[in-house]
């Protein structure tokens, strides 16, 4: 069992939350009971995840996508009321770590996604170091078909693929989630291919015009692994129970 304040301080320090300018607050977003023995983690603080965490008798929920984001009007109505009500009535803590969990060099979404795909990180580049730049383990370039197959097998979903000019894929850049806007940074860094969660209209043209391939692998699918690594770290450090709950999301 761990006190809420100790768990908060540990995760905030581990993920270096003060380094990041983010879209919402990182760390403890909803205060629940003081003593924590059982944790549930998931990608998003959806009502479905909260209700399953309550059913699992969790004392705390740790997510990547929390409740509060820049630009919200602040009213506690509708879906926000439903989520907050379940947490408050059941005295469950809610923690959220957004960009710090994407960028963490060992536990982060990009780091763990790279490991699962068989990629070695050489450096982190771009805005707040959010883009991983590396190469296949072993140093042998992949074909587009090979990387497409690896993504499909690892994430259990077929990526949307915009082919480049057919070059060997030696220099690989990736960033989990909705990071299609970083494609130009990856191109400028000399990437042969860029992997992220989503695609918008401009990226198709950039890929065709520059020859750099683009794979949209799913926002949710690319952001499952950092939160699991964080929860396992917390479990090992404090000796508390941590369970990952998957709430299916095709986006």
Q: What is the pLDDT of residue 13?
A: 98
The response to whether 102 counts as a known ligand-binding position is yes
The response to whether 220 counts as a known ligand-binding position is no
Residue-wise pLDDT for 12-31, tens only, equals 999 999 999 999 999 999 99
Give CATH 3.40.1390.30 domain extents, the chain: 2-97, 104-222
The response to whether 3 counts as a known ligand-binding position is no
The CATH number assigned to the domain with range 104-222 reads 3.40.1390.30
For the chain, 251 residues long, give each residue's pLDDT as a single digit of tens.
999 999 999 999 999 999 999 999 999 999 999 999 999 999 999 999 999 999 999 999 999 999 999 999 999 999 999 999 999 999 999 999 999 999 999 999 999 999 999 999 999 999 999 999 999 999 999 999 999 999 999 999 999 999 999 999 999 999 999 999 999 999 999 999 999 999 999 999 999 999 999 999 999 999 999 999 999 999 999 999 999 999 999 99
Task: List the beta strands (DSSP E) in the chain.
Answer: 2-3, 27-30, 35-36, 38-44, 60-65, 93-96, 119-125, 131-136, 160-162, 172-174, 193-196, 213-216, 241-244
What is the model's pTM? 0.96
The response to whether 237 counts as a known ligand-binding position is no
The response to whether 65 counts as a known ligand-binding position is yes
Tell me which residue has tokens 């977003």: 29
Domain 2-97: homologous superfamily in CATH: NIF3 (NGG1p interacting factor 3)-like (3.40.1390.30)
Q: How far apart are CA 28 and CA 8, in angstroms?
A: 7
Q: How far apart are CA 101 and CA 132, in angstroms?
A: 13
Residue (of 152, 171, 242, 164) closest to 207 by Cα position: 164
Tell me which residue has tokens 């009971």: 33
């Amino acid at each position: 069992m761990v006190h809420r304040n100790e768990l908060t301080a540990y995760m905030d320090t581990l993920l270096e939350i003060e380094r990041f300018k983010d879209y919402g607050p990182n760390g403890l977003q909803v205060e629940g009971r003081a003593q924590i023995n059982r944790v549930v983690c998931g990608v998003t603080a959806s009502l479905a995840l909260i209700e399953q965490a309550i059913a699992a008798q969790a004392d705390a929920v740790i997510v990547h996508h929390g409740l509060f984001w820049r630009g919200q009007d602040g009213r506690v109505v509708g879906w926000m009321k439903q989520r907050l009500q379940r947490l408050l009535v059941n005295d469950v803590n809610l923690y959220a770590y957004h960009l710090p969990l994407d960028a963490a060099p060992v536990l982060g979404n990009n780091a763990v996604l790279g490991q699962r795909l068989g990629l070695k990180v050489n450096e982190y580049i771009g805005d707040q170091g959010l883009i991983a730049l590396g190469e296949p383990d072993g140093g042998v370039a992949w074909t587009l078909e090979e990387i497409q197959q690896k993504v499909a097998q690892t994430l259990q979903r077929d990526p949307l693929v915009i082919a480049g000019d057919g070059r060997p894929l030696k220099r690989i850049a990736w960033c989990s989630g909705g990071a299609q806007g970083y494609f130009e940074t990856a191109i400028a860094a000399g990437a042969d291919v860029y992997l992220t969660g989503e695609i918008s209209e401009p990226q198709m043209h950039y890929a065709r015009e520059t020859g750099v391939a683009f794979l949209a692998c799913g926002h949710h699918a690319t952001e499952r692994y950092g939160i699991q690594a964080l929860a396992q770290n917390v479990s090992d450090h404090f000796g508390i129970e941590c369970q990952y709950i998957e709430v299916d999301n095709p986006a």
